[in-house]
Chains A and B, each alone.
Chain A
Amino acid sequence: MSLVELKGVVKRFGTNTVLDDVSMNVERGEIIAVIGRSGSGKSTMLRCINGLEPVQGGTVVVDGETVSAPGADLRALRQRVGIVFQSYNLFPHLSVEKNITLAPRVVKGIDPGTARELALGVLRRVGLAEKIDAYPDQLSGGQQQRVAIARSLAMQPKLMLFDEITSALDPELTGEVLKVLEQVAAEGMTMILVTHEMGFARRVATRVVFMHQGRIWEEGGAREVLEKPRTPELATFLDAVLH
């Protein structure tokens, strides 16, 4: 069974249909790059996958749990599905350690000693072990985003969602975050990432999904989609982002 199964998903905000019959399967270990113009529904699709947005039609199944069912255990689901946002969303009142260990302590009930070890472990993976006692406002944007990734990793998720996590960063900080992503990918994590970094998508993604007007317009292997667009919409889009 696939890790993620979207079947005919429909999402509306009022009368605005934002996801229109979206179907997609993601296997374990896959790395999906989602591309598309602003407003095409990329973020909304990610948010539907971890139940931050309820859907109006179709089904969303993640790791055997039907997210779109009325009584779904979203809290249990979210322990298995991490999400990292464009705007980091670290907790400004908590140190890096506490940011990372809040959910493991509160939700999983691990003890403080183990928690610090856990924090150190994930911080090493993002190369920020020395910042364990810093506060978010003492870190650069790139460092904050890496902490956000570490915070997500600390829940030991089976799936990670990344929503344009380098879009708010200066170009020189983008590299360090992408490097971390690449490494997480190399460790075998299943990932769905919305990105405008085409070079990165080509290098790392096993599959590229192009969204347009709330639909999956084209999908396929990274090379194939990025180099041989079949639809004029994708061709126009690629033209715009590559120049």
Chain B
Amino acid sequence: MIREFAAIDVYYLLLAARWTLALTALAFVGGGLFGIVVALMRVSPFMPLRALGAAYVNVVQGIPLLGWLFVFFFGLPILASVQVSSWVAATVAFSFYAGAFLGEIWRGCLQAIPRQQWEAGAALGLGFGEQLRHVIVPQAVRVAIPPTVGFLVQLIKNTSLGAVIGFVELTREGQLTNAATYRPFTVYIAVAAIYFAMCFPLTQLSRRLERRLRVAR
């Protein structure tokens, strides 16, 4: 039965946007953990670790997110021998995916700190971990914030693909609303507008932070 697209539908879309944000937050936390490990691997003095980190990044970034979603959705049950919910599959897949991108961003920030800073730390008797913790990371964090916020925008948009494994977030809710009202143009404009409202402020923030950083130099 086809019903009219009404204010209540916008309300439901907004409610669904919460799941978009929730998945983004989970993926950001999970991806952040992967990302830290990857970034550290890639600046480590130990060659095999660097190579492994690079391989992870290249493989993750060389496969469409849709591919990862399905591989995890169908692969996790094989690994765990139990059915997993789309929540679990999506969280794992997105974390895995975001980890490569965040790792790459953060590696760049770590490497933006001049080699002489590492050396000055070493010359004072600090070990690798201490140089990292007290000298490099505090400086790299400032550089890292703008691109990290920028990546959050990518992540929010990417969660829209969670719909394909049945994760009900904003885009999936849009599809469901469209099926009920058959007003695709209106529905998807509303969906796009909600994404825009979530992403645009972050984009602006990222830009402003970056400008401030450039001025501070």
Contact = CB atoms under 8 A, between A and B. Distances in A.
A85 B118 CA distance: 13
B216 to A, nearest CB: 9
A191 interface: no
Task: For chain B, give the interface size range.
Answer: 10 to 19
A52 B126 contact: no
Contacts of A89: 116-117, 119-120
Nearest to A77: B125
B123 A78 contact: yes
A93 B138 contact: yes
Interface residues of A, number: 24
Interface string B112-148: 0000110111111111001000110011001000000
B125 A91 contact: no
A155 B125 contact: yes
Contacts of B130: 106-107
Interface of A is mostly: mixed
B37 to A, nearest CB: 23
A107 B138 contact: no
Contacts of A82: 123
A201 B121 CA distance: 28
Given A75-B125, A107-B125, 12 more contacts: A50-B123, A83-B123, A85-B116, A85-B120, A89-B116, A89-B117, A89-B120, A91-B117, A93-B138, A102-B124, A102-B135, A106-B130
A52 B139 contact: no
| Interface majority SS (helix, strand, loop, mixed), chain B | helix
A129 interface: no
B124 A52 contact: no
Nearest to A83: B123
A103 interface: yes
23 contacts: A50-B123, A74-B122, A75-B126, A76-B125, A78-B123, A79-B125, A82-B123, A85-B116, A85-B119, A89-B117, A89-B119, A90-B120, A91-B120, A91-B139, A92-B139, A93-B142, A102-B126, A103-B125, A103-B126, A106-B130, A107-B124, A152-B124, A155-B125
Contact of B124 (A78, A87, A92): A78
Contacts of B116: 85, 87, 89
Interface of B: 116-117, 119-127, 130, 134-135, 138-139, 142
A92 B120 CA distance: 12
A42 interface: no
Interface in A179-230: none
A151 interface: yes
Contacts of B121: 91
A85 B139 CA distance: 20
A151 B123 CA distance: 11
Nearest to B135: A91
Contacts of B139: 91-93
Contacts of B142: 93
A151 to B, nearest CB: 7
A227 B142 CA distance: 53
A103 B119 CA distance: 13
Given A93-B138, A102-B134, A106-B130, A151 B124 contact: yes
Nearest to A106: B130
A119 to B, nearest CB: 14
Contacts of A52: 119, 122-123
